[in-house]
Structure 1
Amino acid sequence: MSFGDPNNPYGQQPQGGQPGYGYPQQAPQGVPPQGGYAYPQQQAPMGYPAGPGGYAGMPMEMPGLMKTSRVLLFVVAGLQIAIGLIFGIMLAAAGDVASSAGAGDAGSVLAGLGFVIVIILFAFAALAIFLGAKFSKGGSGIRITTIVYSALFILSALGNFTNGTSSGALGGIIGLAIGGIILASMVTSSATTWFNRPRY
């Protein structure tokens, strides 16, 4: 084979910039390979859309309104626990006063009714904490239970307007706002998508 033989893998590259036969020529950095035996660069596969929030296999992010409702559930639970504790202490003090004054059965009936209310407050607080904790992994049952909870919370807020005091009206307005936000976030299409999303 001569020095200029095009079949010689060690021969001089022909003029004109075209790659010869033999070993593949390497292109300078930043220039994609032209011809030769190099394999084309493969792009990383993209996932298929899995609905609002991203691609298949990627976690969907909780909608902002639902994050707000979750925080409000925890705030409501804390308020219910605090009110229940204060109410329970007041009932215990009132029971001591009634027993020392000889009030009798009427005082014990009122104290028993008050403690039932305290237990109901603690139960609703526990339910709010449970619902808020299950927002990240719960299904449609959590969504429906949250709708029922927020409806009951709105009804109790409306009951604050019946006592006719300014503090009751203020509590009713705040309760209506909190319950309305929680209820509104649960009936949106993004909430339905979130709670019906596939879980891996």
Structure 2
Amino acid sequence: MSFGDPNNPYGQPPQQPPAGNPGYGYPQQPGVPQQGYGYPSAPPVSQPYGGGPVLTQMPGITRAAQILLAVIAAAHLVIAAAYGKALADWDKTMLEAGITGDAEAERYADLGKGVVVFFLGLAAVFAVIGLVLLLQYAKGGNTVRVCSIVYASFAIVSGIFSLALYGLGLVIMIVAVLTIVFAAKRTSAEWFRRPRY
């Protein structure tokens, strides 16, 4: 077999460097870039400690998570308004149902009113928390991302309780799942972990 044969399993022998080319341990000639690792051939560092480039603009997927968070907060404002309307009409509804006058029935009606007040307050607090998280997306750290994921997880539960409210609960659950997915993406994590000077 000859070394020029294309069917040779051993291939062509390695080429020897020319005699004038310095090898390992010899000083490098000026103007010739040095091969290998280390300071002379290392790429320029674009941020402290050798990380990737610094993000200056919010990535699209993170912006989508922020918008979906706004939808969840707005939906909870609608839910709070619905509970507020039910609370405003409560006494009139109980009077029309004929519950007034019976002490036992009034006690249960007051218990129901307390439940409505509780859910009204819960929906209002949930909307405020969503608004606070929403406003922190531009300057917040990784805690904002983690809190957004937890917030969206609780929104799934609140969506289950809101299913009877004209399908708003289903919308909340779908948007909450998408928020979790978008906030958990690596791009979003990089945005919230970016260095701030």
Aligned to 2:78: 82
Render the CA deviation track for 1:67-108: whole Å, top value 9, x for unaligned.
111112222212211221222121221224426833421111
Please tell me whether the aligned partners of residues 158 and 176 of structure 1 are also in contact (alpha carbons under 8 angstroms): yes
Larger radius of gyration: 1
Q: Runs of 4+ in structure 1 displaced over 6 angstroms?
A: none
What runs of 5+ residues in structure 2 fail to find an aligned partner?
1-43
Higher relative contact order (CA 8 A, sep 6+): 2
For residue 159 of structure 1, report the CA deviation from its aligned partner: 4.6
2:171 alignment partner, SS class: helix
From 170, 186, 189, the equivalent of 1:189 is: 186
Aligned to 2:35: none
Aligned to 2:64: 68
For residue 48 of structure 1, report the CA deviation from its aligned partner: 4.2
CA distance in 1, matches of 2:93, 2:168: 29
Aligned to 2:173: 176
Render the CA deviation track for 1:146-170: whole Å, top value 9, x for unaligned.
1111111123334556x6xxx76x4
> Does 64-73 or 122-131 show the bigger shift?
64-73
Please tell me whether the aligned partners of residues 160 and 172 of structure 1 are also in contact (alpha carbons under 8 angstroms): yes
Check 1:160–1:81 CA distance in 2 against 1; reply closer, same or farther (3 A cut).
closer
Aligned to 1:110: 112
CA distance in 2, matches of 1:144, 1:159: 24
1:104 alignment partner, SS class: helix
CA distance in 2, matches of 1:90, 1:73: 26
Aligned to 2:195: 198
For residue 110 of structure 1, report the CA deviation from its aligned partner: 0.6
Aligned to 2:123: 121
Q: When the two structures are aligned, how many residues end up with a matched partner?
A: 145
1:19-98 aligned at under 5 Å gives the runs 48-50=45-47, 54=53, 60-98=56-94
Please tell me whether the aligned partners of residues 95 and 111 of structure 1 are also in contact (alpha carbons under 8 angstroms): no
Check 1:71–1:151 CA distance in 2 against 1; reply closer, same or farther (3 A cut).
same
**Aligned amino acid, residue 80 of structure 1:** H
CA distance in 1, matches of 2:109, 2:146: 40
**Aligned amino acid, residue 98 of structure 1:** M
Check 1:104–1:78 CA distance in 2 against 1; reply closer, same or farther (3 A cut).
same
CA distance in 1, matches of 2:170, 2:92: 35
When the two chains are superposed, the root-mean-square deviation of aligned CA atoms in Å is 2.4
What runs of 5+ residues in structure 1 fail to find an aligned partner?
1-46
**Aligned amino acid, residue 153 of structure 2:** A
CA distance in 2, matches of 1:104, 1:132: 42
Please tell me whether the aligned partners of residues 95 and 107 of structure 1 are also in contact (alpha carbons under 8 angstroms): no
1:13-24 aligned at under 5 Å gives the runs none
**Aligned amino acid, residue 123 of structure 1:** V
Normalization by structure 1: what TM-score?
A: 0.63
Normalization by structure 2: what TM-score?
A: 0.64
Check 1:148–1:84 CA distance in 2 against 1; reply closer, same or farther (3 A cut).
same
**Aligned amino acid, residue 71 of structure 1:** I
Aligned to 2:134: 132
